Amino acid sequence: MARPIKVLIIDDSALVRQTLTDLISADPSLEVIGKAADPIFAVQHIKKEIPDVITLDIEMPRMDGITFLKTLMAQCPVPVVIISSLTQEGSNLALQALDHGAVEILSKSEIRNTKEHLEESKIRIIDAIKAAYMVPVKRVGIARKTQPTTPVKKSASIYKTTDKVIAVGASTGGTEALRLFLRQLPVTTPGVLITQHMPAGFTKSFAEHCNKICEITVTEATNGERVLRGHAYIAPGGKHMELVRSGALYYIKISDGELVNRHKPSVDVLFNSVARHAGQNAVGVIMTGMGKDGAQGLLQMKEAGAKTIAQDEASCIVFGMPKEAIKLNAADYVLPLTEISKKVH
């Protein structure tokens, strides 16, 4: 048998450390090899044994998580799963952490040890760690600069409802992939619906960040709003997003519900709704991510007459979701990330 994935937990809360330990240890393929109350203690542990994956809090005494992450990625790169609070500041810092090399984000609300949330928490945490373990991390210089966040001047246009729609699904590595994809889209682009596996509290900050750097308007989706040309809508974390139609107009439906393919929001939920309500007037795109969420939905879109695209292996951080879609013959095109935006029109 392959050895377990070695996990180091860094969090200043003893309760959080113990809850994480219990949840992670429930999977025999994972092993908690250490717990640290702050990055200073963590460094001492890493000198003795390098973990396969680190779970990292942001706000901690003596050294904050961002500073530690920068140093770690410059000197001893290890896949990192960020576990942060749901405050606006915490959300922004967690997104900064992705720029500095972290590969997954979880909310601290995911690890509340209550009976009703325990099973979902365990699934999300274990899947995030396993996904992070698959990511090939690279050494990142401390002086690394993130993408510019100065606002892009929006082109003047009349935002009319279109009878076409683009549906995009992504998971691990998806935040970076989506930023590149969205930056390449002109304001003439049909409405874009995006399901990115991300917890509640972070999608709004992510949408605001993308809106600053894109020509199109990017927002967190709200229930009942119309889908407009030149707009992209990101599914709220912790909620499913669907496309619905009333006459010639498209609208967004946001709902709660069970996990689908171990996720909420689920890409399959979005893709299946687009297949039903848009059919041949839609384009489906499945991007980097672990697991199979979205593969069946992309096939449903293809069978309904939609154009379907999968990101190729070379440009994926984790070639899981696109691979599953390709195995089902659900993708009309398999393209590098940089070429996808050219094919969605």
Q: How many residues does the chain have?
A: 345
Token pair for 68: 């530690």
Comparing C-alpha atoms, which of 69, 254, 103 is closest to residue 177?
103
Q: What is the pTM of this model?
A: 0.85
124-138, 161-175, 192-206: which is most confident: 192-206
Token pair for 168: 């995009």
**Rounded Cα distance, 103 and 82, in Å:** 8
What would the mean pLDDT of 176-188 be, rounded to a whole number?
96
CB 320 within 8 A of CB 344: no
54 forms beta bridges with 8, 80
- 181 to 108, 135, 177: CA distances (angstroms): 29, 20, 6
What would the mean pLDDT of 330-337 be, rounded to a whole number?
98
Q: In the CATH scheme, what is the code of domain 5-134?
A: 3.40.50.2300
**Residue 233, helix vs strand vs coil:** strand
Strands in 165-170's sheet, in edge-to-edge order, are 217-220, 231-234, 191-196, 165-170, 282-286, 307-311, 333-335
344 by Cβ neighbours in 10 Å (0-12 / 13-18 / 19+) ranks as buried
The pLDDT assigned to 99 comes to: 87
The pLDDT assigned to 184 comes to: 97
Same fold, 5-134 and 165-343: yes
pLDDT (tens digit, 9 = 90+) per residue, 282-325?
Answer: 999 999 999 999 999 999 999 999 999 999 999 999 999 999 99
pLDDT (tens digit, 9 = 90+) per residue, 66-96?
Answer: 999 999 999 999 999 999 876 666 678 888 8
Comparing C-alpha atoms, which of 240, 196, 52, 27 is closest to residue 119?
27
Is 1.10.540.10 the CATH number for 165-343? no
155 by Cβ neighbours in 10 Å (0-12 / 13-18 / 19+) ranks as exposed
pLDDT (tens digit, 9 = 90+) per residue, 1-17?
Answer: 579 999 999 999 999 99
Q: What is the DSSP-derived secondary structure letter of residue 314?
A: G
285 forms beta bridges with 168, 309
CB 243 within 8 A of CB 272: no
307 forms beta bridges with 283
**Rounded Cα distance, 175 and 210, in Å:** 10
The pLDDT assigned to 26 comes to: 92
Provide the residue ranges of all domains of the chain, joining segments of one domain with +.
5-134, 165-343
Per the listing, tokens 């489906």 go with 284
The average confidence (pLDDT) of the chain is 89
Residues involved in catalysis: 171, 197, 293
pLDDT (tens digit, 9 = 90+) per residue, 17-76?
Answer: 998 999 999 999 999 999 999 999 999 999 999 999 999 999 888 899 999 999 999 999
